[in-house]
Amino acid sequence: MFDLNHTDEIRLKGCELSIFDQLQPLPLVVQPSTGQGADLLALAVEQKANIEQLLTRHGAILFRGFDISTPATFDEFISRVSSDALFYSERSSPRHAVYKNIYTSTDHPADKEIVQHSEQSYNKSFPRKIFFYCEQPSSAGGATPLADARKIYRRLPSDIVATFESKHYRYSRCFWQIMGTTWQTAFQTEHKEQVEDYCRRNDINVEWHQDDVLKTHQIRPTTAYHPLSGEACWFNHCAFFNVLSLDVETQEILQESFEPDELPNQTFYGDGQDIAPEIIRELQQAYAAERTEFSWQKGDVLMIDNILVTHGRRSYQGARSILCGMSDITHWADVAAKPVDDLSG
């Protein structure tokens, strides 16, 4: 296991490492010491192990000033520093592919914010690494906020954490054909038997209703233990998929239109009981308290350990193009239990 507290200082040959300031330690900034345009692909191959150690220590790395100018080069960097970019399955966010398994980060409207979340933590298997590439920064706004999931876990009241660790949480979806994400889009198929097969293999309960409506729910843990560092991380979509995370106007429309178990997205305790609004607010406040931001520059590449660090998106004005790739498939079964050598904690 990688010991964060007993390691020599990690360096990347030919690069300068820095953080923005002590109040904003995320992300670690890596820049070429030789000036603009250095070869990020070569760095990925030659110093892959050091990059992995830095990522496990800091949680997010911003590569700035390197020669990354196309989606194809971005895709190659992901493959060299991690593993091939993954297909986006069990979809919840609108996005489209631009090159192989490189996608737009989101097609969510520019005037809407996306709150902090851990990518695909609701899946039985999920990517451990998330990559973003800035093709074009927006003229105003559009930051990708980060928040350390280790610190979020420690910030939350122990009784709230204990309840969730005992009960887990339940993520319910209702796929209406007239609004939200359809089941055809979410599961990338027109065939119900393929949806049922996917859900069976991924521990998702399925109910078909009239008018081609699909209702699903899955029960997932809220705490993940990092596979390298063993640290406890608040890793879930419990707050993100709760209706209280939407803007007030949307909340009111949805709550007036649907029963709780008919909402397009909603979360409950694992036993199906409602989560009190004040608990959701407590979760939201913990994310907000740990949130940091930086301004995108053209050509930036952001590498995030998805278990260690959450991300979101600020609203923006003007053209903005941030591409996304995911890698390093990880299974909940491998991170849901506290490491054996830490069971006394």
Q: What is the pLDDT of residues 115-137, one digit of tens each?
A: 999 999 999 999 999 999 999 99
Secondary structure (3-state) at 96: coil
pLDDT on residue 344: 52
pLDDT on residue 345: 53
Q: What DSSP state is assigned to residue 38?
A: B
Q: Which CATH superfamily is domain 155-286 in?
A: Clavaminate synthase-like (3.60.130.10)
Tell me: the pLDDT tens digits for 245-304? Answer: 998 999 999 999 999 889 999 999 999 999 999 999 999 999 999 999 999 999 999 999
**Kind of pairing, strands 102-104 and 321-331?**
antiparallel
Please say whether the beta carbons of 117 and 237 come within 8 A. yes
pLDDT on residue 73: 97
pLDDT on residue 8: 47
pLDDT at 7 over 70: no
* Topology match between the domains 15-151+293-342 and 155-286: yes
- The domain spans of the chain are 15-151+293-342, 155-286
Tell me: the pLDDT tens digits for 317-345? Answer: 999 999 999 999 999 999 999 987 665 55
With 0-12 CB in 10 A as exposed, 13-18 as middle and 19+ as buried, what is 276? exposed
CA separation for the pair 38, 138 (Å, rounded):
24
pLDDT at 165 over 60: yes
Higher local confidence (pLDDT), 93 or 49? 49
CATH architecture, range 15-151+293-342: 4-Layer Sandwich (3.60)
Tell me: the pLDDT tens digits for 63-119? Answer: 999 999 999 999 999 999 999 999 887 666 667 889 999 999 877 889 989 999 999
Residue range 162-168: mean pLDDT, rounded: 98
Structure tokens at 289: 């308290």
With CA atoms as reference, report the closest residue to 102 among 129, 123, 133, 128: 133
pLDDT on residue 5: 41
Computed over its alpha carbons, how large is the radius of gyration of the chain?
20
